[in-house]
């Protein structure tokens, strides 16, 4: 069982991912944008973060940059979600290759495979 932070501005995505992850006995914490995610990361130990790219206030790329610049958080495993092919290409052009990238809609199997992979790796981030 892992503590997993879901960062997405869509409540339906929170609900869906919570259902999928709870079936594998994971504890899910949610945030609606990067600012809230950073606050939750300071308050609660998290084993893995799953973040969307397109969000208001602070997007997923900015959130990942802030995590990478924080010595306490920079080794946090991160899975990136996007519903956009353009965002997927932007991630690759920004050098986001070490993080699993899931294209929405995500199946339960894809999610569980990515989560299992990240949790088993010593470090799933640069």
Predicted confidence at residue 125, as pLDDT, reads 43
Residues in the chain: 126
For residue 81, what are the CA distances in angstroms to 39, 42, 89, 94? 20, 22, 12, 15
pLDDT digits (tens, 9 = 90+) for 79-125: 998 876 665 555 555 555 567 888 888 899 999 999 998 898 765 54
User: What mean pLDDT is predicted for residues 1-11?
Assistant: 95
Predicted confidence at residue 91, as pLDDT, reads 58
Predicted confidence at residue 70, as pLDDT, reads 93
Handedness of CA 52, 53, 57, 61 (dihedral sign): positive
Predicted confidence at residue 4, as pLDDT, reads 97
Predicted confidence at residue 76, as pLDDT, reads 92
Ramachandran angles phi, psi of 84, nearest 5°: -115, 130
Cβ atoms of residues 66 and 34 within 8 Å: yes
Q: Which CATH architecture has domain 3-120?
A: 3-Layer(aba) Sandwich (3.40)
Q: Which of 25, 31, 35 is nearest to 8 (CA)?
A: 31
Q: How many Cβ atoms from other residues are within 10 Å of residue 75's Cβ? A: 13
pLDDT digits (tens, 9 = 90+) for 28-84: 999 999 999 999 999 999 999 999 988 888 988 899 989 989 999 988 999 998 876
Q: Which of 57, 54, 61 is nearest to 95 (CA)?
A: 61
**Buried/exposed 88-124: b ≥16 CB within 10 Å, e otherwise:** beebeeeebeebbbbeeebeeebbbebbeebeeeeeb
pLDDT band at 126 (very low <50, low <70, confident <90, very high): very low
């Amino acid at each position: 069982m892992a503590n997993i932070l879901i960062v997405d501005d869509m409540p339906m995505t929170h609900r869906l991912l919570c259902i999928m992850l709870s079936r594998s006995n994971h504890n899910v914490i949610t945030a609606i944008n990067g600012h809230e995610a950073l606050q939750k990361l300071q308050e609660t130990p998290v084993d893995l973060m799953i973040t969307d790219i397109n969000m208001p206030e602070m997007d997923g790329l900015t959130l990942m940059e802030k995590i990478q610049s924080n010595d306490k958080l920079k080794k946090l495993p991160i899975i990136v979600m996007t519903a956009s092919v353009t965002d997927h290409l932007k991630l690759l052009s920004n050098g986001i290759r070490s993080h699993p990238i899931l294209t929405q809609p995500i199946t339960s199997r894809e999610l569980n495979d990515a989560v299992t992979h990240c949790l088993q790796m010593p470090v799933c981030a640069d």
